[in-house]
Amino acid sequence: MDKRISKVALIGKFRSGETAEAVRLIADYLERRGLAVFIEQDTGVSLGEHGWRVLPLDEIGKASDLAVVLGGDGTMLAAARALAPSGVALVGVNRGRLGFLTDIASAGMLDSLGRLLDGEYRIEHRFLLHTEVRRQGDLLVKTDAVNDVVLAKGGLGRMIEFSVRVDGEFIYSQRSDGIIVATPTGSTAYALSANGPILHPSVRGFAMVPLCPHALSNRPIVLGHEAEVEITLAPPYEAVVHVDGQLHLDVHGEDHIRIRRSDHEVTLLHLPDYSYFGMLREKLHWSELPKEH
């Protein structure tokens, strides 16, 4: 980003009264600075009556220089998937719990946004995973994932069986609760709880992490960013494909899930003092002393 930020869109956590109030505070602040302000459509509903221009999410990327997302990581994930094709930069104000992606604290948010608008920021690009699900050659769905694509057992609660190929080469057949394919961004999400590796955002690769495999020798694997993964569910099993934990699709035996790096990236803005490792220390409670009982 080498142009001045003059048009800012605000996207808030859905139906959150506290977030709506924060959106109003930021919108007023931006107007006082002489900036054009757009409010995302669903966010506008939460605000009630207001005088700002409302835009649907799919139009925000074309109209804005910057999108400010207020909420938790879930709110940021949905916004990032929708806005990645436009290349518009995003910054997150944490109104949720962990906030791996929303690194501006609610306390002092106006001061932090003021610094960004004054040009004090670092740009970071995060790649996405493009996913296609096919059945007998027919395309069922195609979408991008910021965090991860997960093949998981369905409602019956039993293990599933599937095969995995990378760049056309057979890797293994597996019996397990499923498998996670995670970007570096998603390596601190579901994949982390499944004992997957933490991948620094600069790593040009993604991880395949088994979910409770029957064979304990099945371990996480990190692949290069140009790899293409194909997962084929074995009949007669049924399962569910989850994208960022927000999009879901039922799949059946012999359905194919193809995953590769997306052509789109998410552009994030951070304050100059942002530290990825500092964020990990805070969110994962590293270096804390044991509590006394």
The HSE-up count of residue 165 (CA atoms within 13 Å, CB side) is 10
Q: 181: burial class by Cβ within 10 Å (0-12, 13-18, 19+)? A: buried
Q: Please, what is the Cα angle at 69 between 9 and 64, to 5 degrees? A: 25
Strand pairing partners for 179? 151, 210
The answer to whether 73 is a known catalytic residue is yes
Beta strand ranges found along the chain (DSSP E): 7-12, 36-40, 53-55, 66-71, 89-94, 104-105, 122-135, 138-145, 148-153, 160-166, 169-176, 178-182, 205-211, 221-224, 229-233, 238-243, 247-252, 256-270
Do residues 194 and 209 make contact, with C-beta atoms less than 8 angstroms apart? Answer: yes
- Residue 100: CB atoms within 10 A of its CB come to 23
Residues near 281 by beta carbon (within 8 Å), at least 6 away in sequence: 287
Which residue is listed with tokens 């916004």?
A: 79
Do residues 145 and 61 make contact, with C-beta atoms less than 8 angstroms apart? Answer: no
The one catalytic residue in 73, 103, 148, 244 is 73
Active site residues: 73
